[in-house]
A and B are shown apart, each in its own frame.
Chain A
Amino acid sequence: MCVDEFCIDVLDKGKNVKSVFHLLVASCVFLLSSLTYAESDLAIEITQGIDEPTPVAVVPFSWNGSFALKEDIAKIVSADLGRTGLFKMMNRENMLSFPTQQDQVYYRDWRVSKTEFLVIGRQIPAEGKQIKVEFELYDVLKEKRLLAERVSGTQDNMRDIAHYISDMIYQKLTGIRGAFSTRIVYVTAQQFGEGKVNYRLKMADSDGARPITIRQQSEPLMSPAWARDGSKLAYVSFESGKPAIYIQYLATGKREKIQSFRGLNGAPAWSPDGNKLAIVLSKDGNPEVYILDLRSRSLARITHHYGIDTEPSWSPDGQSLIFTSDRGGQPQIYRIHLPTRQLERVTYEGNYNSRGRLTQDGRFLAMVHRGMDNVFHIAVQDLKTGRLDVLTDTYLDESPTIAPNGSIILYATQKGVKGVLGGVTLDGSVRFILPAVSGDVREPAWSPYLQ
C-alpha cells in the first residue's frame, strides 16, 4: 500500500534516460493522508515585493481527459517559483496566447510581454487513471528549449508532480536544488471549551497545502525537529504532566520516549549524521546543553554555566553547536566548537537574540531578534561579514526554520489575535503569510530534502 512512485522520462531524443523516483517519505504521507485528509488550512498570500526578479510565465497545461482534474499544476508551479522572490510570475490574464506545444510558441510575443522564461505543459490521460504530465522550459531571449520532461502520476499526487516540476525549473534557472518537494511540520493549538486545548502536530507540503495531523493531545507539544534523513521527528510533549522528549517515526506513527530527567527536557536537535540529539536538561540545577548519543545512550554535558543555556542547533558539518545563553545578562547566541569546546559569542546587535538556525552552507544565521524597538523580529546575520539584517516587520515573530536550500525562512508570527506562519526570503525581498483557517499555528520546522 505504501507504494507511490512516478517515472520521469527525458523526452529529448538521444538521451533516453529513464529514472524512477521512489518518494519514500511522500508515499507514507499519502497513506496517512487518506485517513485524515483535510481541506487546505494554509493559502499563500504574498505581502511584499522585490526589485528586479526575472519574469517567468507558466502557461496553463492542456488536458484532454474525460474527468476534471483536482489540481491546476501550472498555478502551483507559478506560486512555488513566485514565493522565492527570484521570479516575477506572469498573470494568466496578461498572456497573449496559451501554447501547450513547441510549435505554438511564438518567442516574439513573449519578448513583447517581457517574459524571459516560459513554461508550457500537457496533461495526458493514460492507462489505469494515470496521468502523464509533459512540461517544457524555454529561454525566450535565446529562443531555446532548456528542459523537456515527462512525469507520470495520478489525481492524488498532482501536487507532488507540480512541486517536482518547480524543483526542476528552479534548479535549471538558478543552479540551486529546488526545495518545493519538501514538507513542513508545525504545531496548532485549538481552544475548545473552558481551559481545554487540543494540541496538534501537523505536516503539510512546503506551500502549506494538504495538512494532515500526525499527533494530537490535550497537553502542550512543542519544538518539533526533523532528523536529517526525513524519516522521524523529535519533539517535546507534556503528556505525562512534565516536559519529555519523544521521537516519532513518520512511516509508522510509532513513538519512543527518550530517557527523561528531573526538570527541563527540551529543545531537541538532531546531529547531521542522525546518531545524536542535542538536548537541554536542567537535572544538574539549571538549563544546560547536552548531547545524547542515540546508539550508546550516553549523555555528554556540553555547557557549564549557571545562566540559561538552551536552543542548541548543529552546524552543518556537525563540528559545533550554536545555542542561546543569557550568561551575558541577556539572551544572545553562542557557538561552541565540539572537539575543542572553544566558546565564542556570535551575536552582539540587539538586546535579545535567540533560537539560531544556520543555513546548510553554514554562512547565515537566522534568529529571533529584538532590537531598539523592543519588538521581536526574524533577523539574519551573515557570519562572514557580521552584518545583521532584520527581515520581518510583523509582530511577535519566532521559531525561524530555513528551507534546505536556504531560499526561504518560515517563522511563526501573529496576525490579528491568531498565530500564523509567515515566510520571508533570506534577503528579505519577499514576505508572505500562510493564514490558518482555524487554531493557533506555531513552531514550523522545515524538512530536509526528502528522497
Chain B
Amino acid sequence: MRASNVTKAVALALSVAWVAGCSTSGSSSNTGETAGSNNGSTQGVNQGSGVSGSSMSDVANLQTVFYFDFDKSVVKANGFSDLEKHAAFLAANPAAQVVLEGHADERGTREYNMALGERRAKAVSRFLQVNGASGSQIETVSFGEEKPQILGHSESSWSQNRRVELKYVSR
C-alpha cells in the first residue's frame, strides 16, 4: 500500500513536471485536441445491457482520445480528469477491459514511432493504474505512425495523430 502511494505521488509529480516543461507547445495542439475530440472513437452505450446504468453513461461521455507533444509520452493535464473517471470506472467494474492504442505522427522513423506509440499507451496505462485500475484490465498496442487519424503534413494533422485511443473491449 505504502509503496503504491509513493508510486502514485512520484508519477503525478513527474507528470506535472513534464507538463510544465512542455507547456510551450501552444495553441495549435489545443485546437487540435478540440477538433480531435469530435473525431474520437467514443463508443455508444446499448441501453439496458444489464450493467450499472449510471457508471456506463459516465464513461460513454468521457474523452477517449488523448494527445501528446512531439517525441513525448507524457499524459497532458487536460486529459487527467477524464482519465481519472475511466480509472474509477475500471476500479468499480473489475470485469471491464480497455485497449489503449498508441499512435505517433509521421515524422521520424517508423519503428522508432512504433516504440513511441507504445510508450504513450503505457503512459496512459500507468495513469489509469495509479488511479485505481488494475493492470490486468488494460492492454496496450502500438500502431506507430501507421494509422493516422488525419492525413496531412502539417502540425494541425500531426497534433491529432500523436494520440492514445482508449477503447472498451468489455464493460
Contacts and interface: CB of A to CB of B under 8 A. Distances in A.
Chains A and B are bound partners: yes
Interface string A218-244: 001011000000000000001001110
Given A220-B147, A241-B141, A443 B115 contact: no
B98 interface: no
Interface residues of A, number: 37
B147 A264 contact: no
A352 interface: yes
Contact of B153 (A191, A286, A355, A417): A417
A26 to B, nearest CB: 29
A267 interface: yes
B58 interface: no
Contacts of B110: 222-223, 398-399, 442-443
A287 B153 contact: no
Contacts of B108: 331, 352, 354, 368, 370, 376, 398
A324 B109 contact: yes
Contacts of A223: 110-111
A69 B139 CA distance: 58
B41 to A, nearest CB: 11
Given A242-B141, A414-B153, A286 B119 contact: yes
A310 interface: yes
A49 interface: no
B64 interface: no
Contact of B118 (A263, A326, A355): A263
Interface string B92-113: 0000000000000011111110
A414 B151 CA distance: 13
Interface string B116-153: 10110000000000000000000011111011000111
| Interface residues of chain B: helix, strand, loop or mixed (majority) | mixed
B114 A243 contact: yes
Interface in A252-296: 263-264, 266-267, 280, 282, 286-287
Contacts of A264: 114-115, 118, 142
A280 B142 CA distance: 13
B20 to A, nearest CB: 18
A451 B113 CA distance: 35
Contacts of A80: none
Contacts of A266: 111, 114
B109 A355 contact: yes
A277 to B, nearest CB: 14
A396 interface: yes
A396 B152 CA distance: 12
Contacts of B112: 308, 310-311, 324, 326, 331, 354-355
Contacts of A398: 108-110
Interface residues of B, number: 23
A278 to B, nearest CB: 12
B95 to A, nearest CB: 21
A311 B153 contact: no
Count chain B CB atoms within 10 A of each CB in A191, A263, A352 and give the residue with the most.
Answer: A263
A396 B106 contact: yes
Nearest to A353: B109
Interface in B61-115: 71, 106-112, 114-115
A282 B125 CA distance: 15
A410 B8 CA distance: 47
A355 B111 contact: yes
A310 B152 CA distance: 26
Contacts of A370: 108
A280 B109 contact: no
A282 B111 CA distance: 12
A243 to B, nearest CB: 7
A388 B150 CA distance: 34
B14 to A, nearest CB: 14
A396 B107 contact: yes
A45 B143 CA distance: 33
A373 to B, nearest CB: 13
Contacts of B114: 243, 264, 266-267, 280, 287, 310
A354 B143 contact: no
Contacts of B106: 396
A396 B111 contact: no
A310 B111 contact: yes
Interface string A171-209: 000000000000000000001000000000000000000
B118 A267 contact: no
A220 B116 CA distance: 17
B141 A220 contact: no
Interface in A382-408: 395-396, 398-399
A368 B142 contact: no
A324 B153 CA distance: 24
A208 B71 CA distance: 33
Nearest to A368: B109
B115 to A, nearest CB: 4
9 contacts: A223-B110, A238-B146, A267-B111, A280-B114, A287-B118, A311-B111, A331-B109, A396-B106, A414-B153
Those 4 A-B pairs whose CB atoms lie nearest each other, nearest first: A220-B146, A308-B115, A267-B111, A355-B109
Interface of A: 191, 220, 222-223, 238, 241-243, 263-264, 266-267, 280, 282, 286-287, 308, 310-311, 324, 326, 330-331, 352, 354-355, 368, 370, 376, 395-396, 398-399, 414, 417, 442-443
Given A267-B111, A326-B112, A417-B151, 17 more contacts: A222-B111, A243-B142, A264-B115, A266-B111, A266-B114, A282-B115, A287-B115, A310-B112, A310-B114, A324-B109, A324-B111, A354-B108, A355-B112, A396-B106, A396-B107, A396-B153, A399-B109
